[in-house]
Amino acid sequence: MSVYITDVTAFLPNQPVDNDAIETVLGKVNNLPSRTKKIVLRNNQIQQRYYAIDPSTGRMTHTNAQLTAEAVRQLKPYDGFKAEEIQCLCCGTTSPDLMFPGHALMVMGELALPPLEAVTTSGICLSGMTALKFAYLNVAAGCSRNAVATGSELASSYMRSAFFKVEGDPEADLDKNPIRLFDADFLRWMLSDGAGAVYLTDRPAADRLSLRVEWIEHYAFSGELETCMYGGGAKCAGGRMAGWRQMESIPQDQQRYLYNVRQDIKILDKHIVPTMGRALAMAAAKHKLSAADVDWFLPHYSSAYFRPRFYEGMQKIGFEIPYHKWFTNLALKGNTGSAAIFIILAELVTSGKLQAGQRLLCFIPESGRFAHCFMLLQVVEPGRE
């Protein structure tokens, strides 16, 4: 059964925060201005982002569930639509408000929805896509006539100065080796807040362009590679992970960093691009897709630092998509993790650039333990199945 995205929304909290105001909102670590910020921002090329923080008080203005609920409330797939008509709700995030119950149940509570199927997917950037894939398969199988999938992040909550610690010397050799920043306080200048939602159904919209989901492919390389990005634990000798339940196994000097988001930059730089190339090659071969078949490429990458590297990785496997077909809004919307692909897609859909018959290839990488997702969408005329 064909499945169509007939609406996509994005919610970004409060007013945009430019580069000069980041430390005003998040606070200064150890009461000192960062000397690495300018170098990080030069490499990631983010100009502004959004935080669910009141800059005058430093208090959070939204929970993650509230951000997500706002994105869902904005959905208008047809005249008279009400959230109570949703039959399946799938929500993915890196940073839920609670360890349990699941994030989708908390979003459902915010929306005061009647009984329905509610599913939470966890992970990092791919959690939004695993939510979308569950929703897509649910409709395709005929289990429900419609489904809503979301991705959301509240990264600012753990990027505030009170929650952030820097170990070692984060400012050594930064100009010569910018990848070094991934092991320091670069995350404070990278991650931001936002949520997005898509409405999926078994028929195209009657009054607007729809996006037919052709396929979604998700490849993880975690059986081969060690953990790269993590939170709630520490990396031990040999790459073994010790989680928060194993405090006795974590060196005392590491325990104070237990809830910081960490990234092993050595294996990140070594594996993120090659695994992307392998995943794309597998997806393209499976579906007999060539680069010439793609009209728009929607990549989610954490930093403009990776843009040319991913491009080179695509060249190596003979799947080169020229830059004029790339569509991203990282510079003005920031890196919103699992919400990013929804926010990118929402902007493209409302841009007026889409035409019936065009194909959109979405790319979402995740460095947690190296996994990548590709999704192919086709633009469909109003009412045309």
| pLDDT for 259 | 77
Residue listed under structure tokens 């790459």: 239
Mean pLDDT calculated for residue range 151-168: 80
pLDDT at 169 exceeding the cut of 80: no
Which domains does the chain possess?
Answer: 4-201 (3.40.47.10), 210-225+263-380 (3.40.47.10), 230-259 (no CATH)
The pLDDT of residue 384: 76
Mean pLDDT of 335-362: 98
Per-residue pLDDT, 69: 98
pLDDT digits (tens, 9 = 90+) for 88-127: 999 999 999 999 999 999 999 999 999 999 999 999 999 9
Confidence of residue 40 (pLDDT cuts 50, 70, 90): confident
Cβ contacts of 356-360, under 8 Å, gap ≥ 24: 356/209, 356/380, 356/381, 356/384, 358/295, 358/296, 359/214, 359/293, 359/294, 359/295, 359/296, 360/211, 360/294, 360/295, 360/296, 360/297, 360/298
Q: What is the mean pLDDT of the chain?
A: 92
Averaged pLDDT, 220-237: 93
Confidence of residue 227 (pLDDT cuts 50, 70, 90): very high
Q: What is the pLDDT of residue 166?
A: 53
Portion of the chain with pLDDT greater than 90, in percent: 79
pLDDT of residue 339: 98
At 280, is the pLDDT very low, low, confident or very high (cuts 50, 70, 90)?
very high
**Per-residue pLDDT band at 341 (split at 50, 70, 90):** very high
Q: What is the mean pLDDT of residues 218-222?
A: 98
pLDDT band (50, 70, 90) for residue 175: low
pLDDT of residue 107: 98
> pTM of the entire structure?
0.94
- Top pLDDT among 159 and 164 is at 159
Q: What is the mean pLDDT of residues 198-212?
A: 97
| pLDDT tens per residue across span 45-75 | 999 999 999 999 999 999 999 999 999 999 9
- What is the percentage of the chain residues whose pLDDT exceeds 70? 94
Q: Quick one: average pLDDT of 121-134?
A: 98
